[in-house]
A and B are shown apart, each in its own frame.
Chain A
Amino acid sequence: MSTVARFQIDHVRFLDPHGEALGPLPDFAHDPARLIPMYRAMYLTRSFDAKAIALQRTGKLGTFASALGQEAIGVGVASAMLPEDALFPSYREHAAQLVRGVRIEESLRYWGGDERGSDFADARHDFPNCVPIGTQVCHAAGAAYAFRLRSEARAAVCFLGDGGSSKGDFYEGLNFAAVWKAPLLVVLSNNQWAISVPRSAQSATATMAQKAIAAGVEGVQVDGNDLVAVHHVAREALAKARAGGGPTLIEAVTYRLGDHTTADDASRYRDPAVVQEQWSFEPLTRLRNHLVKLGAWGPEKEEALARECADTVNAAVEAYLSTPPPTTAAMFDHLFATLPAALAAQRDEALRFAPRTAGGQPGGDHG
Chain B
Amino acid sequence: MAEINLVEAVNLALAHELARDEAVVLLGEDIGANGGVFRATAGLQQRFGAGRVVDTPLAETAIVGTAIGMAAMGLKPVAEIQFSGFLYPAIDHLVNHAARLRNRTRGRLACPLVVRTPCGGGIHAPEHHSESPEAMLAHTPGLRVVMPSSPARAYGLLLAAIRDPDPVMFLEPTRMYRLFRQEVVDDGEALPLDVCFTLRGGTDLTLVSWGAMLHETQAAADALAAEGISAEVIDVATLKPLDLPTILESVARTGRCVIVHEAARTAGLGAEIAASLAEEGLYSLLAPVQRVTGYDTVMPLSRLEYQYLPSVERIVAAARKTLEAS
Interface residues of A, Cβ cutoff 8 Å to B: 62-63, 91, 110-115, 129, 131-134, 163-164, 166-169, 194-197, 201-203, 263-264, 268-269, 325-326, 328, 330-332, 335, 342-343, 346-347, 349-350, 353-355, 357-367
Contact = CB atoms under 8 A, between A and B. Distances in A.
Contacts, number: 150
Contact of A360 (B35, B58, B174, B303): B303
A111 B98 CA distance: 36
B301 A115 contact: yes
A201 B58 contact: no
Interface residues of B, number: 44
B86 interface: yes
A110 B125 CA distance: 12
Given A62-B302, A328-B307, A332-B297, A363 B124 contact: yes
B174 A366 contact: yes
B61 A168 contact: yes
A195 B86 CA distance: 15
Contacts of B57: 163, 166, 197, 201-203
A154 to B, nearest CB: 27
Contacts of A115: 300-301
A302 to B, nearest CB: 34
A326 B85 CA distance: 23
B149 to A, nearest CB: 19
A113 B302 contact: yes
Interface stretch (B10-18, B25-33, B218-226): B25-33
B32 A367 contact: no
B58 A168 contact: no
Given A131-B128, A331-B300, A164 B307 contact: no
A366 B129 contact: yes
Contact of A197 (B30, B296, B308, B314): B30
B32 A62 contact: no
Given A335-B298, A358-B307, 19 more contacts: A62-B126, A110-B127, A112-B303, A113-B305, A115-B301, A163-B58, A195-B34, A196-B32, A197-B55, A202-B57, A328-B304, A330-B304, A343-B296, A353-B311, A359-B304, A360-B302, A361-B124, A364-B123, A366-B125
Contact of B303 (A132, A134, A163, A326): A326
A300 to B, nearest CB: 40
Interface string B192-231: 0000000000000000000000000000000000000000
A183 to B, nearest CB: 27
B17 to A, nearest CB: 23
B33 A360 contact: no
Contact of B127 (A131, A350, A365): A131
Contacts of B314: 349, 353
Given A163-B58, A263-B37, A367 B297 contact: no
B83 A335 contact: no
B33 A269 contact: yes
Interface in B48-78: 55, 57-59, 61-62
B102 interface: no
B307 A365 contact: no
A51 to B, nearest CB: 18
B313 A194 contact: no
A344 to B, nearest CB: 11
A361 B305 CA distance: 10
A360 B89 contact: no
Contacts of B295: 331-332, 343, 346-347, 349-350
B297 A133 contact: no
Interface string B305-326: 1111001011001000000000
Nearest to B295: A346
Contacts of A363: 124
29 contacts: A62-B125, A63-B124, A63-B125, A112-B302, A113-B124, A113-B305, A134-B58, A166-B62, A167-B59, A168-B59, A194-B58, A196-B33, A268-B33, A268-B35, A330-B300, A332-B295, A335-B297, A335-B298, A343-B296, A350-B308, A353-B314, A355-B311, A359-B303, A364-B123, A364-B124, A366-B123, A366-B124, A366-B125, A367-B37
A364 B57 CA distance: 28
B58 A167 contact: yes
A164 B58 CA distance: 7
Contacts of B59: 166-168
Given A196-B55, A326-B304, A350-B295, A132 B34 contact: no
B253 interface: no
A354 B307 contact: yes
Contacts of B311: 353, 355
B45 to A, nearest CB: 11
B265 interface: yes
B29 A194 contact: yes
A164 B60 CA distance: 11
Of B58, B62, B317, most A-chain CB atoms within 10 Å: B58
Of B37, B57, B123, B314, most A-chain CB atoms within 10 Å: B57
Contacts of A63: 124-126
